[in-house]
Structure 1
């Protein structure tokens, strides 16, 4: 079993005895064990900081790149598939093309200049194909990863701000009051309010609901969601539940303390593994009452 699969199963606490032996041979296995021990210190009405999260983020995936040509081929196939079945794609009489994703969907899209976009769950992009040669500009609501072909300026406009590049790889999350821009290659210009920030490769900018911006380093070669993971650092449990509902198209009846915070991750391909990853460190339990309904409550109130 490859390293990525082992880590996913570790996150879901589903390693077999043989897999656990293999996992323990990883160079950074002691670090992961430390994270587990920290997680076990969580209680229903308190939270514990996990100071080694940055190290976990550094080591969760090696910095391996998928060749750009391969990304574009795959994205082109996905885009052709979307158009061929006519789902979530609209072209109006003015030449505006709109792509949308539903719950638990990720779509690859090829733009007219050979730039590629991977659109995350419950997200939308729109652009004017008739004017693309004159103005490379699109609007985004949700989250998308961009691999931009070199050329004239490329703008991503959102309700929270505008991201401008010439040719690079970056991720933009703009959903409600959340605005996060991550630069993986090249240089990104971020405009919000009356401010402009230049964001180099290996860094991200997070804009809070109050308008305060912070920058931090990133240690991976592409966003976690492209690898089928949602990763959190000291995140409010309500935000984690919201992400879970979006990724699995479920409704969660959360009956415990809403002030809890969560540090960790869950995968996007196995609901019960995801639920275990969230509930066990926080001393919570879950019950799947219907295929689309999950109840989560304090383990002490069984």
Structure 2
């Protein structure tokens, strides 16, 4: 009974100096203090109404059939109340930054459905992140690599890259952001690009390119990116750049004769190495030989 008396006065902040000393000597004094301290870290009424400790104390010490609730029940109920309050706080904290992250490796594409049913197709060697718990208020995606977006009509969001931000509203577009190259192709609707201190509008049928600080706008006639069709396409590209792309897709080492210095316009597919090599070498009058360790490419007229 003496313990219950001290707990009641402590809950009501009515302990005298001598009584406080006796209360601190109680076996469970530290538990009671911890419950109060933890409860103050979280505002429970954001999610559920939890009675304050004065009300709890009245309920715990109310009589039923002239019997006083035992102190061990007080401990149990108080502990449950503390667990509920702390649980709400932990739940809120864990869901505050519910980041969805997607990453792809070589020859791996991934199709992602966003919370608003917009579709993202992620190209190989790419990463996409967004905060799912904050999506309705802040529709922001972080992209490193390349992705094709098919946005639901009337839904606006932004794609953030290392080079700039793409703002869209119900459209289809492709974003490429690697190294020093930033490209945005719009296939339907309109996109807005913010980079450095400039803002550019990119309508359907055009592509914006930013490379080494130089910006250009060009027309496009295709309905979707070639990589979705598992092809790499080049327009007057150096043979060295084409070979690097080929090595990346097929994970092979390619040796190119030093006297080969050509420009290539064309394409190669991603699912057959021999066919890809034929697509590149034949228009340039080159030959190739596949060995166990590497691919050798040289001029056809060279012995």
TM over 0.5: yes
Report the 3-state secondary structure (helix = DSSP H, G, I; strand = E; otherwise coil) of the residue aligned with 2:275.
helix
Match of 1:198 in 2: 201
Matches within 5 A, 1:40-51: none
Match of 2:185 in 1: 182
Report the 3-state secondary structure (helix = DSSP H, G, I; strand = E; otherwise coil) of the residue aligned with 1:238.
helix
> Which structure has more RCO (C-alpha within 8 Å, separation ≥ 6)?
1
Q: How many residues align?
A: 210
Aligned: 1:113 with 2:116: yes
Contact 1:136 1:152 in 2 (8 A): no
Aligned: 1:297 with 2:274: no
Matches within 5 A, 1:221-236: 221-236=223-238
* Displacement after TM superposition at 1:115 (Å): 0.8
Contact 1:121 1:247 in 2 (8 A): no
Report the 3-state secondary structure (helix = DSSP H, G, I; strand = E; otherwise coil) of the residue aligned with 1:130.
helix
* Displacement after TM superposition at 1:261 (Å): 1.6
Contact 1:238 1:258 in 2 (8 A): no
* Displacement after TM superposition at 1:152 (Å): 4.6
Contact 1:180 1:207 in 2 (8 A): yes
1:155-203 alpha-carbon deviations (Å, 9 max, x no partner): 1111111111011100011111111110000000011121111011111
1:191-229 alpha-carbon deviations (Å, 9 max, x no partner): 1121111011111111122x1111111111111111122
Q: For the residues of structure 1 that align with 2:281 and 2:96, how far apart are their CA atoms?
A: 49
1:10-37 alpha-carbon deviations (Å, 9 max, x no partner): xxxxxxxxxxxxxxxxxxxxxxxxxxxx
Q: Please, which of 136, 139, 146 is the counterpart of residue 136 of structure 1?
A: 139
Aligned: 1:101 with 2:108: no
Contact 1:119 1:145 in 2 (8 A): yes
Matches within 5 A, 1:221-300: 221-257=223-259, 259-290=261-292, 293-300=294-301
Q: For the residues of structure 1 that align with 2:285 and 2:270, how far apart are their CA atoms?
A: 22
Report the 3-state secondary structure (helix = DSSP H, G, I; strand = E; otherwise coil) of the residue aligned with 1:301.
coil
Unaligned runs of 5+ in 2: 1-93
**1:237–1:220: structure 2 CA closer, same or farther, 3 Å change rule?**
same
Report the 3-state secondary structure (helix = DSSP H, G, I; strand = E; otherwise coil) of the residue aligned with 1:133.
coil
Match of 2:217 in 1: 215
Q: For the residues of structure 1 that align with 2:95 and 2:276, how far apart are their CA atoms?
A: 39
Q: For the residues of structure 2 that align with 1:256 and 1:93, how far apart are their CA atoms?
A: 56
Q: Please, which of 159, 163, 184 is the counterpart of residue 162 of structure 2?
A: 159
Q: Please, which of 146, 164, 174 is the counterpart of residue 149 of structure 2?
A: 146
* Displacement after TM superposition at 1:257 (Å): 4.1
CA RMSD of aligned residues (A): 2.0
Report the 3-state secondary structure (helix = DSSP H, G, I; strand = E; otherwise coil) of the residue aligned with 2:281.
helix
Report the 3-state secondary structure (helix = DSSP H, G, I; strand = E; otherwise coil) of the residue aligned with 2:291.
strand
* Displacement after TM superposition at 1:150 (Å): 3.0
* Displacement after TM superposition at 1:126 (Å): 1.1
Between structure 1 and structure 2, the one with the greater Rg is 2
Unaligned runs of 5+ in 1: 1-90
